[in-house]
Structure 1
Amino acid sequence: MRGTPSRRRVLAGAAAGGTLAATGAAAEDPVWSAEYWAEKGPVRLSLYRKRLGAPRAGETTRPVLFLVHGSSNSARSSFDLTVPGKGEYSLMNVFARLGYDVWTMDHENYGRSSRTGSNSAIASGAADLAAAAPVVARETGAARFHFAGESSGALRAAVFAAREPARVDRLVLSAFTYTGKDSPTLAERAKRLPEWRAQATRLRDRAMIRSIFTRDAPGTSDMAVAEALADAELVFGDRIPTGTYLDMTANLPVVRPEDVTSPVLLIRGEHDGIASLADLQDFFGRLPNGDRQFVTLSHAAHALQYGMNRHQYWHAVHAFLSLPPAVAA
């Protein structure tokens, strides 16, 4: 489907930290945004885009970064959150100022996208990405994009990369899990496996959103962020799909590392209970591309983009995405 922009606006860039200052990007540079739609059969998917300045005819194609959200929150609250008085929390703003053409999308049954009877499992999310890719390619002129997914969004992105390697440039898997072995978070969720099997949706209220910030290592995030996130998400209701929880407790692994041929950054917080270090090292060791990095960030938990040390996450991701090409031996 041709995704038509439904709205465009120019946003004033908020001041950012030293990581951005080092790039020479001025904090006052205008961040332009637009909304688009893609179709997956009868399902309409809401896409959102940010970059410095509106597109101009004949300009050089910028590197495209597609951000893939996780199980409990939609795209804008995950990657374009405003937390009054607390500094920059919009990953989209950060990477737009670094020179990327940044995109994200509400998966089926999240945010502004269509509501259906589906439980929106990992495979469904990968199909959402396949539906969005032609829209992004048409609007940017890029044939390949960087993808960065967090939590179940990392699983969605990895499955898509295995299915459509020609679309994927570099791949960032944040808060990823492979087999789920020795994961305290997934062991706790598995206690409710009959519920995930029986229902297409689950409760996601303010208390559940707060638990994202306290379940691993309280203090690694400012709880004001949890409140801002809840305010942004609960406008869409207090129920979200169970599919990713079902996959992560009963159906792992959902992707074979041998099938992911793109360069990969595997990045996690040291206190993240979604996967054991050994499980991630096993996945990392099986990746076929020698262009790969494994990064652990200290004083960080599951949701790296919401953490007190999110600037380290920005730095590691940008360093990986902007790595100069290797000279073949």
Structure 2
Amino acid sequence: MTDSGHPLARRTVLGAIGLGGLGAAAAAAMPAQAATAVASEGGEIWSSEYWTKKGDIPLWIFRKRIGAPKAGEPARPVVFFVHGSSVTSRVFDLNVPGKGEYSVMNEFARYGFDVWTMDHENYGKSGRTAGNADIASGAEDLKVAVELIARETGQQKVHFVGESSGALRAGAFAMLAPDRVDRLVFAAFTYKGQGSPTLTKRAEQLAYYRSHNMRKRDREMIRSIATRDKPGTSDPAAIEVLADVEMQFGDQIPTGTYLDMTANLPVVHPEKVLAPVLLVRGEYDGIATVADLEEFYNKLPNGDRQFIILPGTAHSVALAINRQLFWHVTRAFLTMPTPIAT
């Protein structure tokens, strides 16, 4: 394991590839355009909503950055936040009055990133189907999202930050399309799930997940996300705001990721994840043991990898009182200098 390293300077530069919406032959003939993440000295956060389709299913996508896009400006690295099983992408863009910044999208926009997220099939504003929105379905959602991002930004590779089953979705996509993935951050991830108290408890409902595509997700269930491992690691005020914004979408949520996590693990195979990976685990997270994550970490083929445990934090790192620790290690990893070949 490695720690998070030294604090970053005020301005941090990230090299990335930005080839625009070019065809393969044209792209090969063009020099790479450097994308830089430069911490903002100010400026308004601009946002926009987008719609795309996976077949006939409409998918809602959301974007934030400092300032509206302008023709000819330097490319910015894209970071995509992937939500988990029981919440929508609102978890990454909360406004909690009097409690400081809770929007990780705002924070990373200020760091100089072009920040994106989406509601997966059967979540939030995206289309409803008869399916259970499992991990494989989520990877297909990301596939069409990345195509839209390429058209809008010119960026052919994207950083992914997934939390809980969002990390599994991101990992599944990375196996499908390694050429579209830059760096990966897996927060609250699980590999095989062995020894997990949360998954052991969840497996008691396995027959229900097999026979139903939706499950109840009420306000009490949302509150339990922050209390089931270690009460006090998240501010109740933030959880109430999350519940308020989530309940506008009703009290039903898909079962697919729960089924995958209780019956089908592993769904992400480390040998097939070629990108650099940061594993982030809360000290008190009940979804995966340290041993489970160490096994995954040790099998990753890319030597550019880190495993960090955040103190005073449980499963939900995005909503933790110590969420700034998550921001710090994620930013540091996404802005790692390109290694000199040896």
TM-score for the superposition, normalised by structure 2: 0.89
Measure, in 1, the Cα distance between the counterparts of 2:65 and 2:182: 19
Q: What amino acid maps onto 1:45 in structure 2?
A: L
Higher RCO, Cα 8 Å, sep 6+? 2
Give 1:25's aligned residue: 40
Measure, in 1, the Cα distance between the counterparts of 2:45 and 2:68: 8
Give 2:65's aligned residue: 51
Give 2:317's aligned residue: 304
Give 1:10's aligned residue: none
Give 1:63's aligned residue: 77
Task: Write the deviation string for residues 215-255 of structure 1: whole angstroms up to 9, x where unpaired.
Answer: 00000110111100000000000000000000000000012
Give 1:198's aligned residue: 211
Match of 2:248, SS? Answer: helix
Work out which of the residue numbers 281, 287, 291 in structure 2 matches 1:268: 281
Give 2:49's aligned residue: 35
Give 1:13's aligned residue: none
How far apart are residue 25 of structure 1 and its match? 3.2
How far apart are residue 328 of structure 1 and its match? 1.0
Q: Does the CA contact (< 8 Å) of 2:57 and 2:127 recur in 1?
A: yes
Give 1:252's aligned residue: 265
Give 2:94's aligned residue: 81
Work out which of the residue numbers 234, 237, 252 in structure 1 matches 2:250: 237
Match of 1:179, SS? Answer: coil
Spell out structure 1 runs of 4+ moving beyond 6 A.
Answer: none
Shift of the 21–319 alpha-carbon distance from structure 1 to 2, 3 Å rule, reads closer
> Alpha carbon RMSD of aligned pairs, Å?
1.2
Work out which of the residue numbers 178, 181, 200 in structure 1 matches 2:194: 181
Q: Equivalent residues in 2 for 1:128-139 (5 A)?
A: 128-139=141-152
Task: Write the deviation string for residues 126-149 of structure 1: whole angstroms up to 9, x where unpaired.
Answer: 000001111001101101010010
Task: Write the deviation string for residues 71-96 of structure 1: whole angstroms up to 9, x where unpaired.
Answer: 00111x21101111111000100000
Q: Does the CA contact (< 8 Å) of 1:50 and 1:93 recur in 2?
A: yes
Q: Does 1:106 align with 2:119?
A: yes
Match of 1:192, SS? Answer: helix
Q: Equivalent residues in 2 for 1:275-314 (5 A)?
A: 275-314=288-327
Match of 1:166, SS? Answer: helix
Q: What amino acid maps onto 1:44 in structure 2?
A: P
Q: Does the CA contact (< 8 Å) of 1:304 and 1:310 recur in 2?
A: yes
How far apart are residue 151 of structure 1 and its match? 0.2
Give 1:14's aligned residue: none
Q: How many residues get paired? A: 309
Measure, in 2, the Cα distance between the counterparts of 1:291 and 1:206: 40
Measure, in 2, the Cα distance between the counterparts of 1:288 and 1:25: 35
Match of 2:341, SS? Answer: coil
Task: Write the deviation string for residues 68-120 of structure 1: whole angstroms up to 9, x where unpaired.
Answer: 00000111x21101111111000100000000000000000000000111100
Q: Where in structure 2 are there 5+ consecutive unaligned residues? A: 1-6, 12-38
Task: Write the deviation string for residues 141-198 of structure 1: whole angstroms up to 9, x where unpaired.
Answer: 1010100100000000001001100000000000000000000000000001111111
Q: Does the CA contact (< 8 Å) of 1:20 and 1:98 recur in 2?
A: no
Measure, in 2, the Cα distance between the counterparts of 1:226 and 1:78: 10
Q: Does 1:163 align with 2:190?
A: no
Measure, in 1, the Cα distance between the counterparts of 2:10 and 2:214: 44
Measure, in 2, the Cα distance between the counterparts of 1:131 and 1:175: 25
Q: Does the CA contact (< 8 Å) of 1:20 and 1:97 recur in 2?
A: no
How far apart are residue 46 of structure 1 and its match? 0.1
How far apart are residue 31 of structure 1 and its match? 0.3
Match of 2:312, SS? Answer: coil
Measure, in 2, the Cα distance between the counterparts of 1:180 and 1:164: 25
Measure, in 2, the Cα distance between the counterparts of 1:80 and 1:229: 10
TM-score for the superposition, normalised by structure 1: 0.92
Match of 2:287, SS? Answer: coil
Q: Where in structure 1 are there 5+ consecutive unaligned residues? A: 1-18
Q: Identity over the aligned pairs, expressed in percent?
A: 60
